[in-house]
Amino acid sequence: MSDSAFSLREFTRQLPKAELHLHIEGTLEPDLIFKLAQRNHITLPYPDQASLHAAYQFTDLQSFLDLYYAGAGVLITEQDFFDMTWAYFLRAQADGIVHAEIMFDPQTHTARGVAMETVFAGLARAARQAKSELGISSYFILSFLRHLSEADAFATLEAALPLREQYADLWIAIGLDSSEKGNPPAKFEKIYARCRELEFRLVAHAGEEGPASYVRDALQLLKVERIDHGVRSQDDPALMQYLIDHAISLTVCPLSNIKLKVFDSLDEHNLKHLLDRGLNVCVNSDDPAYFGGYLLDNYMQTAQALNLQASDLRTLAANSLRSSFLPKAQQQAWLNKLENVPSND
Ligand code: HPA
Ligand code: ZN
């Protein structure tokens, strides 16, 4: 690694950053999958970690989701959910993340007989420990699986609501993930209206594999504040202008987009174009155990491929803080620290 590459990485590491698009089940590394499988007496269809890892050759979103849901099948106990989440926070600390907004997919677990309480308890114990021991704050985004029905989403919300008070410091938002094509935002209009009445913050995946019209519908029908991915917005000039005018945040995940073939290669990614057009974009890792890099790797590999400068990286990090659900005063405190990180240029 050259000196300048090293110093740009160290500069980026030092920037206070928020990670806003992270599926906690997507942080399960092969070694932890094997450890939990053994602990829970589950037989995996792979003889060892290397052969599991070798299967991470995705052709599209669905080919990834099939493995991702299978991997999550080793999570049974509160300790399992804690171990997965704590491992993420340690990596987040190493990358200079100061705040994380973490998606989780309860339906993946409750469908296997895991209690909603078990999921919440394990995630929350890790999040509270991360706050006190690592100084990293976090919120949870309970995400509905869009390949399932809206009725299933309502049942999931009903199962989770009794826990709201106990986890009010963490569970503040609702998301929508899984197979995008054929599952448009309109399918979830009623549940989003209900979650809005309940005063949850709202986000949704849109415009990853699905068309730009899904981004528009997520904003107009679901009334989300932030779009996860959204890179396909570029296909619709009027939508692009709307995103600029309203400073809508897009939580972009460059390495994910390459692994799932949304773009052919990182140097063809449109992040720099979106940034230069004045869109409120930030960088995130999505499912880092599957896509080959945590947050800092996403920043650095993208910087290399798109020739991002220190000023671009600072803007991306600032966008992540401003687009978070942290109170404005806390955002500003981190932004002040961010402005004081020295760069070489
Ligand atoms: N897209 C949709 N659903 C997901 C993803 C993603 O990138 N990761 C985990 N669930
Ligand atoms: Zn995602």
For ligand 1, the distance from its centroid to the CA atom of residue 65, given in whole angstroms, is: 7
Say if pTM beats, i.e. exceeds, 0.95: yes
Confidence of residue 106 (pLDDT cuts 50, 70, 90): very high
For ligand 1, the distance from its centroid to the CA atom of residue 62, given in whole angstroms, is: 9
For ligand 1, the distance from its centroid to the CA atom of residue 326, given in whole angstroms, is: 23
Distance CA 48, CA 46 (A): 6
Q: Are the CB atoms for 185 and 206 separated by under 8 Å?
A: yes
Residue 131's contacts (CB-CB under 8 Å, 6 or more residues apart) are 137, 138
Sole residue written with tokens 């060892």: 48
E-assigned strand segments in 178-316? 201-206, 226-229, 249-252, 280-283
Atom 4, ligand 1: which residue's CA is nearest?
Answer: 178
Residue 131 lies inside a defined structural domain of this protein: yes
Residue 243 lies inside a defined structural domain of this protein: yes
Distance CA 149, CA 44 (A): 29
Looking at all shown ligands, the one closest to residue 259's CA atom is 1
Q: Looking at residue 195, which CATH number applies to its domain?
A: 3.20.20.140
Q: 178: Cβ below 6 Å to ligand 1?
A: yes
**Three-state secondary structure call for residue 215:** helix
Distance CA 177, CA 166 (A): 25
pLDDT at 41 over 60: yes
DSSP run (H or E) holding 142: strand 137-145
Could you report the per-residue pLDDT of 130-183, keeping only the tens digit for each? 999 999 999 999 999 999 999 999 999 999 999 999 999 999 999 999 999 999
For ligand 1, the distance from its centroid to the CA atom of residue 342, given in whole angstroms, is: 35
Could you report the per-residue pLDDT of 244-303, keeping only the tens digit for each? 999 999 999 999 999 999 999 999 999 999 999 999 999 999 999 999 999 999 999 999
Residue 344 lies inside a defined structural domain of this protein: no
Q: 26: Cβ below 6 Å to ligand 1?
A: yes
287 among annotated binding-site residues: yes
pLDDT (0 to 100) of residue 344:
78
DSSP run (H or E) holding 211: none
Residue 104 lies inside a defined structural domain of this protein: yes
Q: Which residues pair with 205 in a beta bridge?
A: 228
DSSP 239-276: HHHHHHHTT-EEEE-HHHHHHTTSSSSGGG-SHHHHHH
For ligand 2, the distance from its centroid to the CA atom of residue 344, given in whole angstroms, is: 33
Q: How many CA atoms lie within 13 A of 199 on its CB side?
A: 2
From 58, 65, 215, mutation site for ligand 1 pocket: most ligand atoms within 8 A of C-beta: 65
Domain extent for 134: 3-334
- Residue 41's region, left for phi above 0, alpha for psi from -120 to 50, else beta, is left
What sign does the dihedral 81-49-177-273 (CA atoms) show?
positive
Q: 61: Cβ below 6 Å to ligand 1?
A: yes
Looking at all shown ligands, the one closest to residue 68's CA atom is 1
Q: 207: Cβ below 6 Å to ligand 1?
A: no
pLDDT (0 to 100) of residue 6:
63
Residue 324 lies inside a defined structural domain of this protein: yes
From 63, 205, 208, 253, mutation site for ligand 1 pocket: most ligand atoms within 8 A of C-beta: 205
Q: Are the CB atoms for 127 and 138 separated by under 8 Å?
A: yes
Sole residue written with tokens 């890892």: 53
Minimum-distance ligand 1 atom for the alpha carbon of 256: 7
DSSP 8-class letter at 105 = -
Could you report the per-residue pLDDT of 320-337, keeping only the tens digit for each? 999 999 999 999 999 999
Could you report the per-residue pLDDT of 213-250, keeping only the tens digit for each? 999 999 999 999 999 999 999 999 999 999 999 999 99
**Active-site hit among 78, 208, 209, 268:** 208
Q: Which residues pair with 138 in a beta bridge?
A: 100
pLDDT at 123 over 80: yes
Residue 211 lies inside a defined structural domain of this protein: yes
Please state the domain count of the chain. Answer: 1
Mean pLDDT (whole number) for 309-324 = 98
Residue 204 lies inside a defined structural domain of this protein: yes
Count CB-CB contacts under 10 A for residue 252.
30
Count CB-CB contacts under 10 A for residue 168.
9
Q: Which residues pair with 168 in a beta bridge?
A: none
Residue 343 lies inside a defined structural domain of this protein: no
Looking at all shown ligands, the one closest to residue 209's CA atom is 1
pLDDT (0 to 100) of residue 48:
96
208 is catalytic: yes
